[in-house]
Amino acid sequence: MFSKLLPLDLQKYLQMSAQQRRHELQKTLWFMPIIYVVSSLLLVAVTLLLDHQLNLAHYVHPVFHARAQATQTLLGALIGGILTLSAFTLNSVLVVLTTFSGQFSPRMLLNFVADKKTQHVLGIFHGSFVYVLVVFLFVTGQQNEFYVAIPSTTVVLAFITVMVFIFFINHATTWMQVHNITWTMNRESKEIIKDSLRNELEEYRTNEPGNKYEDYRSQEVIVTSPKPGYIQLIHFKEIIEQAKRDDIIMKLHVKVGDFTLRHNRLFSYWGPGKDNINEEVYRNLIEIGHKETEIQDIKMGMTKLAEIGVKGLGNNDPKTAINTIHQMADLLVSVEGYITFSPYLADQTEQVRIIMDSEDFTYYLYRGFGYIRHYADKNYPIITEIIVALTLVSQSIDASKHDQLWEFASNTVDHISAQFIYDMDRKYLLDKLYDLALMTNHEMDYYGVERRLLNINPTDY
Asked if residue 124 has pLDDT above 70, the reply is yes
- How far is 107 from 118, CA to CA, in rounded Å? 17
Asked if residue 402 has pLDDT above 90, the reply is yes
Of residues 89 and 155, more confidence is placed in: 155
Whether the CB-CB separation of 150 and 71 falls below 8 Å is answered with yes
Query: pLDDT confidence of 269, banded at 50, 70, 90?
Result: very high
pTM (2 d.p.): 0.78
Digit-coded pLDDT (tens) for 273-318: 988 889 999 999 999 988 887 777 778 888 888 888 888 888 888 8
Phi-psi region of 397 (alpha: psi -120 to 50; beta: other; left: phi over 0): beta
Digit-coded pLDDT (tens) for 426-451: 899 999 999 999 999 999 999 988 88
Residue 275: is it exposed, middle or buried by C-beta count within 10 angstroms (0-12/13-18/19+)?
Answer: exposed
- What mean pLDDT is predicted for residues 172-197? 79
Confidence at residue 458, expressed as pLDDT on a 0 to 100 scale: 47
- What mean pLDDT is predicted for residues 76-95? 81
Pairing of strands 352-355, 249-252: parallel
Burial 176-206 (b: 16+ CB within 10 A, else e): bebeebbebbbeebbebbeebbbebbeebbb
Burial 79-116 (b: 16+ CB within 10 A, else e): beebeebbeebeebbeebbeebeebbbebbbbbbbbbe
DSSP code string of 299-368 = HHHHHHHHHHHHHHHHTT-HHHHHHHHHHHHHHHHHHHHH-----EEE-TTS-EEEEPPP--HHHHHHHH
Confidence at residue 455, expressed as pLDDT on a 0 to 100 scale: 74
Confidence at residue 1, expressed as pLDDT on a 0 to 100 scale: 47
Confidence at residue 196, expressed as pLDDT on a 0 to 100 scale: 67
Mean pLDDT score across all residues of the chain: 83
Q: Is 104 helix (H, G, I), strand (E, B) or coil?
A: helix
- How far is 391 from 288, CA to CA, in rounded Å? 39
Q: Lowest-confidence range among 18-27, 96-105, 227-236, 332-341?
A: 18-27
Digit-coded pLDDT (tens) for 147-173: 788 888 888 988 898 898 889 888 888
- How far is 111 from 182, CA to CA, in rounded Å? 11
Confidence at residue 18, expressed as pLDDT on a 0 to 100 scale: 64
